[in-house]
Amino acid sequence: MDSVGPVTYSGLISGLDINSIITQLAQIRQRPIQLLTDKQTSYTKTLNIYQQLTANLLAVSTATPALVSGDALRQVTVSSGDSAIVLASGSAGAAVGEHEIAVSQLAQNHKISSATVANSGEALGYAGDIVINGAVVTIGADDSLTDVRAAINAAGAGVTATILTVSESDHRLMLTSLSSGEANAIDLVDANDSDVLESLGLQTGSTSIKHAVTDGAAGDYLSSKTDAVGTVMGLSAPLSGTIKVNGTDVAIDLSTDSLEAIATAIDAVSGVTATVTSSGSGTDTVYRLEIVGDSGAPTFTDDSNVLVTLGVLEKGIANQIDAAQDASFTVDGISMTRSSNAVDDAIENVQLQLLDETGASPVTVTVAANSQAAADAVQDLVTYYNQVIDLMNENQQFNTDTNEGGALFGSPTVLTLEVDLRQMVMGLVDTLGGDLILASQAGISTDEHDQLVFDRTEFLDALGSDPVGVQRLFGLYTETTDAEIEYYSSTSAVRDSGADGYAINITQVATKPTAVSAELAGGITTDETLTIGGYDITLTAGMSLQDAADLLNSLFSAHNMAMDATVEGNTIKIEHEVWGDSHTIEIASSLDDGSGGTDLGSATAGEVETYTGQDVAGTINGESCTGTGRVLTGDDGNENTEGLMIVVKATTTGDKGVIKVSKGIASRLADHISAVTDEDTGSLTLATDGVSNEINAIDESIQDLNDEVDRYIENLQLQFARMETAMTQSISLLNWMTLQTQNLPGSSRASDTWWGS
């Protein structure tokens, strides 16, 4: 029995090879599928070519940025006359020339050592807080030298602690600053009454003024002047004790006393003035104690390390291995110092590494133009460009023997792309004038296959004679004719303006949010509380306008508000730092307008007045723009200026000249490639998607045809099964009828049977 789908039948009845018949009939029905499969194979090849073309174009793009910016054409080589003393390197844009470098002193990291400790693993018996570069390290009596080392390294104090083992009974703690230079000297403070650092042999017992000021001394800066010093410093056991200033006792408890409280206590000493001064602004404001004598610096006695902890006094370093020092050197006879031996800001775009002192003879550092690197950059562009042309040429050919075209034959997208690419490279670059306006003047031409030919010698000659012209030939350059207009940036959508440029018209200038008081010729004459940005500040009668402005600025600094108060004539002006309407100044006053106050805020006391600025507005080339602060940007969809951004510093409206946008060879190529490969609108992307869609459509058609053939086979199987069944039934009926006929009376079979009975 044969089984076809759900139907079981015998092919023995008919004698036919039913499976073979069905297979042959199915193959006839499947011929369109093969045609579609062949077509799909062709489309798949085309898709692969399109994808490769896109990849090749993007490779061209990788070679354009440095040419657009000009960096690739401003490469330099930097060499040192003695690389054992001064190493030198450079980056694009360094000015060609020679520099004489004399090194008199190298920068050093500060390194100090403790005294000898017999056993690094035994408890030292010292307890208390020490402060290293502002980081508190708490030492316990059970801590060993090894424990102290670990605690210092864990504190993140900008130093590294190691143990030097001189012998089995001589171990020393070494502290080394992580950064070189005088400013990075290790700052040690014995913030304890046990003289831990002195006991370790890191410091001496003698003290001196740490921060000298005129006729006095100042302490270390702290982040708060009103909180307890111990809390501000993060001490685990803040000190208390009695100090002497000019022989007078002053009791200080760092667990409860703030800088202001300490200043008040010391200020009571006759002949001494103590104050808290500040530095910085906003959240970065810091404070310190200053103690000044009426007739020279006061004398101090500090048996409990209180003044040492405050940073007014300091102890000496006991064992200094290497002093913290800056590098001292001259460049072309001009003296300079730096905290590091790596110097990258002395000569523009040149990096120096100072390795040794030069003595009497300076080292010559030479900066030379690296024209070969510039030529290499252009050669890379030409190579990648030609790979694109090769691929297009190879796949656009028509084979007359087979009458078949290549995968890209006849593609309007590719034909247009080829023409456009040729124009990008060989077209005029004359927007800004100059002598170099054609690629051929810089050694680039085309052959009969539209490939670029690069004459390196001709390029180097052009670069040597007119480097700026070559940079303009390849890159993006702009010019404005009005000093109040500056180019900011642009996108690939911006088109070359041509020699006429894009006209700029300003209809609204940018302003900052500004609040101006009433005329206050007599200064502040009435107590007034202003609420600015939610913060209160009180101006008191008798203040000068400058005092009021200073007080306002302290508020702005304390709360990191980007505002500034100034005195202009007889008024106070509060101005936001940001241009435009994205920020505001909100002010409310405790006084109604006209009641003798500043008249800042709303006319009614307690109500908020909001002061806003305005964004610049205008057009570029007559096309719509959007202003943000002082930046005017060409709107999306503009034919020529989409994404062009200019800074408008004008204070009056009207015509502001023109901006010329020149796009050279590399800039044009980058922009065009970006356009044709755009994932949504690029012509090459759309062509690729079209082929991909065809492949998908064929997949669906093949699936539909396969389903139809399957149904056809099932139908044939069913019909043949029915035929076999019918034939079986017919044969069975014929056999029965034959048997019945044979058994009829008178038949030979019947007579034989009767007589035989």
pLDDT of residue 271: 94
pLDDT for 623 beyond 60: yes
Task: Using pLDDT thresholds of 50, 70 and 90, give the confidence band for residue 548.
Answer: very high
pLDDT for 1 beyond 80: no
Own/partner long-range contacts of 724-729 (Cβ < 8 Å, ≥24 apart): 724/9, 724/10, 724/11, 724/13, 724/14, 724/18, 725/9, 727/13, 727/14, 728/10, 728/13
Of 51, 52, 43, residue with least CA distance to 694: 43
- For the stretch 293-334, pLDDT in tens is 998 999 999 999 999 999 999 999 999 999 999 999 999 999
Chain position carrying tokens 């500034």: 564
* Vertex 86: Cα angle to 80 and 92 (nearest 5): 55
Lowest mean pLDDT among 49-58, 386-395, 724-733: 724-733
- For the stretch 337-358, pLDDT in tens is 999 999 999 999 999 999 999 9
Q: Does residue 615 sit in helix, strand or coil?
A: coil
Lowest mean pLDDT among 134-148, 277-291, 302-316, 545-559: 277-291
pLDDT for 752 beyond 60: no
In angstroms, the CA 71 to CA 91 distance is 9
CA 138 to chain centre: 39
**Alpha-carbon dihedral of residues 501, 507, 511, 513, nearest 10 degrees?**
-140
Q: Does residue 739 sit in helix, strand or coil?
A: helix
Q: Does residue 595 sit in helix, strand or coil?
A: coil
Name 80's bridge partners. 365
- The secondary structure of residue 430, as a DSSP letter, is -
CA distances from 408 to 52, 137, 392, 687 (A): 12, 74, 7, 11
Position with higher pLDDT, 749 vs 386: 386
Identity of the residue numbered 277:
T
Task: Using pLDDT thresholds of 50, 70 and 90, give the confidence band for residue 559.
Answer: confident
In angstroms, the CA 537 to CA 439 distance is 66
- How many CA atoms lie less than 13 Å away from 194 in the CB half-sphere? 16
pLDDT for 749 beyond 60: no
CA distances from 130 to 82, 196, 227, 548, 607 (A): 45, 7, 20, 42, 53
Task: Using pLDDT thresholds of 50, 70 and 90, give the confidence band for residue 741.
Answer: confident
CA distances from 83 to 75, 79, 91, 170, 355 (A): 21, 8, 18, 40, 8
pLDDT for 747 beyond 60: no
Non-local CB neighbours of 375 within 8 Å, separated by 6+ positions: 456, 459, 460, 463
pLDDT for 259 beyond 80: yes
Of 10, 131, 68, residue with least CA distance to 731: 10
pLDDT for 418 beyond 90: yes
Q: CA end-to-end span of the chain, whole Å?
A: 42
pLDDT of residue 753: 44
Lowest mean pLDDT among 543-557, 586-600, 692-706: 692-706
- Span 514-612 CATH architecture: 2-Layer Sandwich (3.30)
Task: Using pLDDT thresholds of 50, 70 and 90, give the confidence band for residue 725.
Answer: confident
Would you list the DSSP string of 189-237?
EEESSS-HHHHHTSEEEEEEESEEETTEEE---BS-SSSBHHHHHT-SS
- The rounded mean pLDDT for the chain is 91
Q: How many CB atoms lie within 10 A of CB 708?
A: 14
Report domain extents, the chain: 1-74+371-475+673-728, 76-106+333-369, 109-322, 478-510+616-663, 514-612
pLDDT for 113 beyond 90: yes
Can you state the angle between helices 456-465 and 467-474, rounded to 10 degrees? 120
- For the stretch 660-711, pLDDT in tens is 999 999 999 999 999 999 999 999 999 988 888 888 888 787 787 777 777 8
Q: Does residue 46 sit in helix, strand or coil?
A: helix
pLDDT of residue 755: 40
In angstroms, the CA 247 to CA 269 distance is 9
Non-local CB neighbours of 62 within 8 Å, separated by 6+ positions: 384
**Whats the size of the chain, residue-wise?**
757
Task: Using pLDDT thresholds of 50, 70 and 90, give the confidence band for residue 7.
Answer: very low
Non-local CB neighbours of 227 within 8 Å, separated by 6+ positions: 258
pLDDT of residue 3: 44
Non-local CB neighbours of 450 within 8 Å, separated by 6+ positions: 389, 393, 418, 422
Section 515-541 average pLDDT: 94
Task: Using pLDDT thresholds of 50, 70 and 90, give the confidence band for residue 12.
Answer: low
pLDDT of residue 4: 43
Task: Using pLDDT thresholds of 50, 70 and 90, give the confidence band for residue 264.
Answer: very high
Lowest mean pLDDT among 32-36, 86-90, 124-128, 621-625: 32-36
Q: Does residue 393 sit in helix, strand or coil?
A: helix
Task: Using pLDDT thresholds of 50, 70 and 90, give the confidence band for residue 468.
Answer: very high
Report which secondary-structure segment, H or E, holds 368: strand 363-369
Phi-psi region of 569 (alpha: psi -120 to 50; beta: other; left: phi over 0): left
pLDDT for 166 beyond 70: yes
Lowest mean pLDDT among 229-243, 516-530, 717-731: 717-731
Task: Tell me if the pTM is above 0.85.
Answer: no
pLDDT of residue 349: 94
